[in-house]
């Protein structure tokens, strides 16, 4: 048995770029920043914040909802699978890793516009999933 599951909570780095493929099949790409807070060691040494950037990919209905509700700076919860791919450019093989989103929840304060409020789930229906998707309150931390 193996498990490929990623859970991230962070801030969106740029507005989603949405493309529509054949048969109105949408795909959204955006970045998400997660930050580990810095700290001070007992000897007084400062360890700075460490920010990690993640490439997020959302498909179909999840992509169109991301296009409507997700903007740069939005705090979100993303659950999905990690996927690595490679391509060759100018004779050099390049690798990149992305998160294939299965569910996204908007976090933070309620926007002033008519958008969904905090912890609003945006989930792509998946026949493999049993029961409702987890909420932030279900997390073990």
pLDDT digit string, tens, across residues 68-103: 999 999 999 999 999 999 999 999 999 989 999 999
2-19 tens-digit pLDDT:
999 999 999 999 999 999
Using only C-alpha atoms, the chain has a radius of gyration, in whole angstroms, of 17
Q: Identify the CA nearest to 77 among candidates 54, 111, 59.
A: 54
Provide CATH code, domain 6-35+46-126: 2.40.50.140
Higher pLDDT, 111 or 102: 102
Give the closest residue to 123 by CA, choosing from 95, 104, 100.
104
Cβ atoms within 10 Å of 85's Cβ, excluding its own: 9
Instruction: Report whether 104 contacts 77 (CB < 8 A).
Output: yes
pTM of the model: 0.73
pLDDT band at 108 (very low <50, low <70, confident <90, very high): confident
Domain boundaries, the chain: 6-35+46-126
- Decide: 32 and 8 in contact? Cβ < 8 Å: yes
């Amino acid at each position: 048995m193996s498990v490929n599951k990623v859970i991230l909570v962070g801030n969106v780095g740029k507005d989603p770029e949405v493309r529509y493929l054949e048969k109105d099949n949408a795909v959204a790409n955006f970045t998400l920043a997660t930050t580990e807070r810095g700290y001070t060691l007992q000897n007084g040494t400062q360890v700075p914040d460490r920010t990690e950037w993640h490439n997020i990919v959302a498909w179909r209905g999840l992509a169109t909802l991301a296009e409507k509700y997700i903007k740069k700076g939005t705090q979100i919860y993303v659950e999905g699978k990690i996927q690595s791919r490679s391509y060759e450019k100018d004779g050099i093989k390049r690798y990149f890793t992305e998160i294939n989103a299965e569910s996204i929840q908007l976090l933070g304060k309620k926007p002033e516009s008519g958008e969904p409020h905090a912890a609003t789930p945006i989930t792509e229906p998946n026949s493999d999933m049993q029961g409702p998707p987890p909420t932030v309150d279900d997390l073990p931390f």
